[in-house]
Amino acid sequence: MAKRKTKFICQECGYESTKWMGKCPGCQSWNTLVEEMEAETSGRKRSFVTSGNTKVAKPQPITKIEKSEEPRISTHINELNRVLGGGVVPGSLVLVGGDPGIGKSTLLLQVSATLSDHKQRVLYISGEESVKQTKLRADRLGIGSDELFVLAETDVDLIEKVIEELNPTLVVIDSIQTVFLDGVTSAPGSVTQVRECTSQFMRIAKTRGIAIFLVGHVTKQGSIAGPRILEHMVDSVLYFEGERHHTYRILRAVKNRFGSTNEIGIFEMKELGLEEVLNPSEIFLEERSSGAAGSAVVASMEGTRTVLVEIQSLISPTSFGNPRRMATGIDHNRISLLMAVLEKRVGMMLQNHDAYVKVAGGVRLDEPSIDLAIAVSIASSFRDSPTAPGDVIIGEVGLTGEVRRVSRIEQRVVEAVKLGFERVIIPKKCLGGWTVPDGIDVVGVNSVSEAIEITLGGVSSGSPTFEL
């Protein structure tokens, strides 16, 4: 009998090696290589040449292919529909990741309940909880429907048989790290098991037209546990973000074959589950301190939505040789770059000061239009001079100190008007070509120094009012 071969696979990135190593050459992680048995393969190879009456798919010109809109199933949760691109596409495979306890299972159980309430058959499969535990959580959330079926199972072959018998519209697998295939010798949660189980669920989704949601655990670095190919196999990857000790949660699409990857959905965790936040700008600004140095408001675009958030900075002299640069919600390298621009182009001596920059509310901002607000916030804290409470600052900053144009400026200004702001600082290149709304003053600037002079030179009268 032939001896079965073994190999060592990294549980973080999927790197394969014939011998054990303490450090993975692929992802540089320590003690992540685990020994696994190679799967037995038959000697028969797949042939692309068929005989008999079997039909073979033939290539056809792209101009001859008929296009059709993908039918979508509304989840009746507007924030989730926004992130998915309009609803759930039948036959799609969606991966939902997030930290433990962030609310992944709660969200998917609520989605299952809303669909079952609208006469859609849903199968919720839990590999981590018993049926009674799932029932207790459903009772706590006020969920109950005859079209919502619950199963506690981890064997993929048995799960497939149940799906064939039940023929649901939506299937939830909680989680992909707990299920296994009998033909794979490695343990559940290993790289091989996760990859093979996902491939099996992808086949079920595509052949039967059933939408499947997979819950994925995350690593210490915040990425989906398992091989990177897992994210390439699925149609959509959603990350559930937020602090466990805060009530607000952000659902962000990092991959979506049926919609935009820039959309976010915002929820608030309450006693009866997750509740949609319809106007996040009011939530993020309601605790803003008036007249505090180091505070600036920016209008950021998250997909098709405008979100007004507060950027806070604290600049203090350091007693050490290397000043600290810390950032929350922003890339800390961007802070170092903007501080270098302020030193060189504006003349602020920041090299002997610690800098702490934070986006209030737990949001993470990546787009370039927040540069000018960060620079003004840093300058405000350095000079101990507050910005005007009625100002919104928008613009990208170049290395020569110029303020560059940004997209969708009219939509950003309209959102500022809705929240009662009185003045908006924008790049001068963005002036013209659109109608300025009533009740707000639009000021164009060409450089960072000009923006700082305008925003810190005087304070506009009044404060923005919020109608909560």
Q: Model confidence at 459, in pLDDT bands (50, 70, 90)?
A: very low
Whole-angstrom Cα distance, residue 225 to residue 244? 19
459-468 mean pLDDT: 41
301-320 mean pLDDT: 90
Identify which has the larger pLDDT, 211 or 467: 211
pLDDT of residue 322: 87
272-300 mean pLDDT: 88
Q: Which of 324, 302, 299 lies closest to 311 in space, CA to CA?
A: 299
Q: Residue 41 above 90 pLDDT? A: no
Whole-angstrom Cα distance, residue 175 to residue 213? 9
Supply 3's token pair: 């001896």
pLDDT of residue 2: 52
Q: Residue 467 above 60 pLDDT? A: no
291-310 mean pLDDT: 90
User: What pLDDT digit, counting tens, does each position of 128-187 carry?
Assistant: 899 999 999 999 999 988 999 999 999 999 999 999 999 999 999 998 989 999 888 778
The helix/strand count (H/E) of the chain reads as 11, 21
User: What pLDDT digit, counting tens, does each position of 403-416 carry?
Assistant: 999 999 999 999 99
Q: Which of 150, 265, 255, 167 lies closest to 209 in space, CA to CA?
A: 167
**What are the φ/ψ torsions at residue 87 (nearest 5 degrees)?**
145, -175
Q: Residue 324 above 80 pLDDT? A: yes
pLDDT of residue 40: 57
354 assigned ligand-binding residue:
no
In SS3 terms, the chain reads as CCCCCEEEEECCCCCEECCCCCECCCCCCECCEEEEECCCCCCCCCCCCCCCCCCCCCCCCHHHCCCCCCCCECCCCHHHHHHHCCCECCCCEEEEEECCCCCHHHHHHHHHHHHHHCCCCEEEEECCCCHHHHHHHHHHCCCCCCCEEEEECCEHHHHHHHHHHHCCCEEEEECCCCCECCCCCCCCCCHHHHHHHHHHHHHHHHHHCCEEEEEECECCCCCECCCCHHHHHCCEEEEEECCCCCCEEEEEEEEECCCCCCCEEEEEEECCEEEECCCHHHHHHCCCCCCCCCEEEEEEEECCEEEEEEEEEEEEECCCCCCCEEEECCCHHHHHHHHHHHHHHHCCCCCCEEEEEEECCCCCCCCHHHHHHHHHHHHHHHHCCCCCCCEEECCEECCCCEEECCCCHHHHHHHHHHCCCCEEEEEHHHCCCCCCCCCCEEEEECEHHHHHHHHHHCCCCCCCCCCC
Burial class (CB in 10 A: 0-12, 13-18, 19+), 457: exposed
- Helix, strand, coil percentages (3-state) for the chain, rounded to 5, are 25, 25, 45
**What are the φ/ψ torsions at residue 249 (nearest 5 degrees)?**
-125, 145
Looking at every residue in the chain, the average pLDDT score rounds to 86
Supply 381's token pair: 């804290």
97 assigned ligand-binding residue:
no
Q: Residue 461 above 70 pLDDT? A: no
pLDDT of residue 227: 55
Q: pLDDT over 70 for what percent of the chain?
A: 90
117-127 mean pLDDT: 94
Ranking 174-178, 235-239, 435-439, 455-459 by mean pLDDT, the lowest is 455-459
Q: For residue 175, is the peptide bond before it cis, meaning its omega torsion is within 30 degrees of 0?
A: yes
Whole-angstrom Cα distance, residue 463 to residue 468? 15
323 assigned ligand-binding residue:
no
220 assigned ligand-binding residue:
no
pLDDT of residue 155: 95
Q: pLDDT over 90 for what percent of the chain?
A: 56
Q: Model confidence at 244, in pLDDT bands (50, 70, 90)?
A: low
pLDDT of residue 458: 46
Ranking 46-60, 87-101, 104-118, 301-315 by mean pLDDT, the lowest is 46-60
pLDDT of residue 199: 93
Identify which has the larger pLDDT, 264 or 52: 264
41-60 mean pLDDT: 54
User: What pLDDT digit, counting tens, does each position of 189-221 carry?
Assistant: 888 888 899 999 999 999 999 999 999 877 655
104 assigned ligand-binding residue:
yes
55 assigned ligand-binding residue:
no
Q: Residue 464 above 90 pLDDT? A: no
pLDDT of residue 3: 57
CB 102 within 8 A of CB 242: yes
Q: Model confidence at 14, in pLDDT bands (50, 70, 90)?
A: confident
Q: Residue 55 above 80 pLDDT? A: no
102 assigned ligand-binding residue:
yes
Residues in the chain: 468
Whole-angstrom Cα distance, residue 312 to residue 370? 12
Q: Residue 13 above 60 pLDDT? A: yes
Residue 57: CA count within 13 A, CB half-sphere: 2
H helix or E strand, kind and range, residue 372:
helix 371-383
99 assigned ligand-binding residue:
yes
Supply 464's token pair: 């923005």
pLDDT of residue 226: 56
User: What pLDDT digit, counting tens, does each position of 63-108 carry?
Assistant: 888 877 778 999 999 999 999 999 999 999 999 988 888 889 999 9
